[in-house]
Chain A
């Protein structure tokens, strides 16, 4: 599918070279295939995302569906604000935060992003390990070579081919919508839970709710979406198209997440939290039968490898942007020490932690909780930036939008705070 993006003119002279493509055709083509919105949202359905959604289905069956609808609304608004900033200023989020806030606040944001992303990298490598364990290969034999391979591919090799292979592999997760239908869920209950709010006052429910926010509205996605828009050279005139891409991408990703929850709910709903990747694969049985684990493993490897490269890179880009230093994978370590150093460090750290004998699924969900805690910080910056007329001029948030966006940020922050308080109380044995 992405093959068309780079037309090898030497082989097929009648196709125009990328450089000479007309603007409209190029924009529609990219928007249709891989607009920043779609890519960013799709990246949410990586190893960690799948684990969280599957866990939601297995633990609370359809109970989290209404919450996911709320999360969808939040994601749409947040992604929209991020691409609006990128399109109207031509600068990424990291750069804008540094220009508009103090350096210390920038450092805070960037530190949060790095922390959350390193957690994500851990989970991506854990995902690769888990996928290979499904087919009987121990993770200690897989993770180190996978880390070295990814690192080398990005820095020296042709990541762009690998990227496509990973993308195609991660398409395996598109089996979930089919599995959902074949799994004959209780459609009445699904409909009910999609519309009627449902909250369980248990710690595990809130923990999972925060994890759902964390995996769906992850901070790196906003940095990525804004940077993507800037890098694609979009401008205010393109904004309607970009907004459509961001909204469609967000909605699409959330629909896939919903189908994963429903499919898992109807397959293994009520069996408590997931404790292995094999259980998450269970939901694919209606589609792949005995090969469900293989299909799941394939998808997990693809998604994890893709995100395992994109996530640390996007964090390095954000840091480089904020610090104003050289940032490009085509530079040498001497020219771009911070950028390449951070990228390397994240991969090394991620792979090392993933090697330790941790409970993979719990780790994946834990990462999402971390993301959920950090999201409010990034969202507040995003909100303040989009409110400022000195930054966006006419495109700044209208009073009504400002109200809605503030509500979203407060909602996300409230969820995180509840979790934080509960966690701290539990340390003292009070909860």
Chain B
């Protein structure tokens, strides 16, 4: 292709893009620009000014429809239902009828005031996985209604809003998040009926990885954080909590309703739950344990009895044990049932009739063994490498680490005085406990 042809193509391309973005720009209405703008009747006389836009945020619609405007007429504030709206332009609303039915505004379930509750407030950008603030909201006037389509989070938009009114009305869609990819918080909004609570964005929240969710929880304000926790399934929330900074987690558990906090603790892996409980005061800990199911609470109490810097304090009590007479296939079946705990399982302990430890078989060895092989064969084969490496519950973490390195394993069984396994200490927990908080240079350094 010749150079001039390339240039021509490029020009056409740029023009097309400019046209497209202009089309988008002119079809969108900036909320920030609409606020304070005039509302005129059919004959073009000004009726009042826009104070806020009401939308049904928590409903079944994928894009929240505008249900009305709050107007300032003289010194009075009134509500104008959406069916009276004619055309919503940038910075200006024209009414459909000459006569308007004005009412006092009362929030209906699921409704929010877009300017007061959403604009400038925190929201979660589900695709970008971050907490951000709404710099502007864009409305799209459709044939029969106006819907909220996206959130602008760009800096130029913020600057535009600082400028004169002429700038404010003009949308500047720089970085616009689709409304579906956003989880907004609106403290004041009454929740809709429970069955429609899971909007698309909330469903999107459920796809987030626990670590990302933890980051988001850490960045949110106090009320927003509790709201987000309330939207998540307890299992998902618990996974996220396990990834949080201990100090943040400690706060979050304190702020939450005790019942909810107890539920979350119950869903967490026992070793993580123990760590979290350790950070609380005795009374707070008891308050949570008392609200938990008996079995779980008893287990956590047992774990809490160990000192935190010993193997007992860092171990998980989730153990998969087997007997010599089982086959590899049976053990694999048992492992499959425990798939949700995959991060906590590293090996399978073989015990005798009195629950004493015989052998510790790594998952790799199980993976490469034949289905029909009896566990006894594996035990006999492992015997050539000597007795299994174990530690006592009161072994210090540093010693446990030395032993782990010597054994070239990724976990060690913790046994009691009678050689019965009581837990397993995993390499990642050891790392967690032993690594100093590595100082990527955070502002926290100044603040803590």
| Residues of A with C-beta under 8 A to B222 | 88-91, 235
Q: How far is the CA of A23 from the CA of B245 in the complex (A)?
A: 13
Q: Which residues of B contact A309 (CB under 8 A)?
A: 446
Output the nearest chain A residue to B123 by Cβ-Cβ distance.
A324
How would you classify the secondary structure of chain A's contact residues: helix, strand, loop or mixed? helix
CA distance A327 to B279 in the complex (A): 28
Set A30, A327, A329: member contacting B448, Cβ < 8 A: A30
- Which residues of B lie under 8 Å from residue A158 when comparing CB positions? 439, 441
Is A326 at the interface (CB under 8 A from chain B)?
yes
Measured between beta carbons, the chain B residues less than 8 angstroms from A90 are 220-223, 225
CB distance from B241 to the nearest CB of A (A): 14
B443:A313 contact, CB within 8 angstroms: yes
Shortest CB-to-CB span from A312 to chain B, Å, is: 12
Complex interface: chain B residues within 8 A of A9 (CB): 398, 433-436
Taking the complex as formed, is B106 at the interface, i.e. its CB lies under 8 A from any CB of chain A? no
Size range of the chain A interface in the assembly: 35 or more
Interchain nearest-CB distance for B113 vs A (Å): 13
Q: When the two chains form their complex, are residues A235 and B133 in contact, meaning their CB atoms are under 8 A apart?
A: no
Which A residues, 337 to 354, have Cβ-Cβ distances below 8 Å to chain B? 338
Q: Is the CB of A19 within 8 A of B446?
A: no
B446 near A103: Cβ-Cβ < 8 Å: no
Is A23 within 8 A of B448, CB to CB? Answer: no
Which residues of A lie under 8 Å from residue B440 when comparing CB positions? Answer: 330
Asked if residues B309 and A19 are in contact (CB atoms below 8 Å), the reply is no
Is B259's beta carbon under 8 Å from chain A?
Answer: no
Which of chain B's residues has its CB closest to A17's CB?
B433
A103 pairs with B161, CB closer than 8 A: yes
What 0/1 pattern do residues 231 to 259 of A give for CB contact below 8 A with B? 11111010000000000000000000000
CA distance A18 to B313 in the complex (A): 15
Most A-side CB within 10 Å, residue of B120, B442, B446: B446
Q: Is B162 an interface residue (CB 8 A)?
A: yes
B43 interface residue per 8 A CB criterion: no
Q: Is B448 within 8 A of A163, CB to CB? A: no
Tell me if B133 and A232 are in contact (CB < 8 A): no
Q: Contacts A90-B222, A99-B120 given: A19-B441 contact, CB under 8 Å? A: no
B436 & A163 in contact (Cβ 8 Å cutoff): no
Q: A103-B161, A232-B448 are contacts. A19–B443 as well, Cβ < 8 Å?
A: no
Nearest residue, chain B, Cβ from A23? B279
Is B299 interfacial (CB-CB < 8 Å)? Answer: no
Q: Do B221 and A89 touch across chains, with their CB atoms under 8 A apart?
A: yes
The interface residues of chain A lying within 8 Å CB-to-CB of B278 are 20, 22
What's the minimum C-beta distance from B242 to chain A, rounded to whole angstroms?
A: 13
Which residues of chain A in 196-240 are interfacial with respect to chain B, using CB atoms and an 8 Å cutoff? 224, 227-228, 231-235, 237
B158 and A329 contacting across the interface, CB-CB below 8 Å = no
Q: Inside 8 A of A394's CB, which chain B residues have their CB?
A: none
* A325 and B155 contact, Cβ closer than 8 Å, known pairs A90-B221, A163-B446: yes
B residues 231-246 near A (Cβ < 8 Å) are 245-246
Q: Choose among B155, B398, B437 the residue that contacts A323 (Cβ–Cβ < 8 A).
A: B155
Known contacts A19-B437, A90-B222, A107-B162: A98-B246 contact under CB 8 Å: no
Chain A CB within 10 A, most for which of B132, B281, B434, B441: B441
**Cβ–Cβ < 8 Å partners of B255 in chain A:** 235
Q: Smallest CB–CB gap between B162 and chain A, Å?
A: 5
**B48: min CB distance to chain A, Å:** 20
Interface 0/1 of B297-332, CB less than 8 Å to A: 000000000001100010000000000000000000
**Contact: B251 with A235, CB < 8 Å?**
yes
Q: Which chain B residues have a beta carbon within 8 Å of chain A's beta carbons? A: 32, 120-122, 130, 132-135, 153, 155, 158, 161-162, 220-223, 225, 245-248, 250-251, 254-255, 275, 278-281, 308-309, 313, 396-399, 432-437, 439-448
Provide a sorted-by-A list of 8 A–B residue pairs whose CB atoms are within 8 angstroms. Answer: A6-B436, A19-B245, A157-B441, A163-B445, A231-B448, A323-B155, A325-B155, A327-B443
Q: 10 new A-B pairs (CB below 8 Å) besides A9-B436, A20-B246, A98-B120? A: A17-B432, A17-B433, A19-B245, A39-B446, A88-B222, A89-B222, A103-B120, A103-B162, A232-B247, A323-B155
**Interface set of A (CB-CB < 8 Å, partner B):** 5-10, 13-24, 26, 30, 34, 36, 39, 88-91, 95, 98-99, 103-104, 107, 154-160, 163, 224, 227-228, 231-235, 237, 309-310, 313-314, 317, 323-330, 338
- For the complex of A and B, 4 pairs with smallest distance between CB atoms: A324-B133, A13-B398, A90-B222, A228-B447
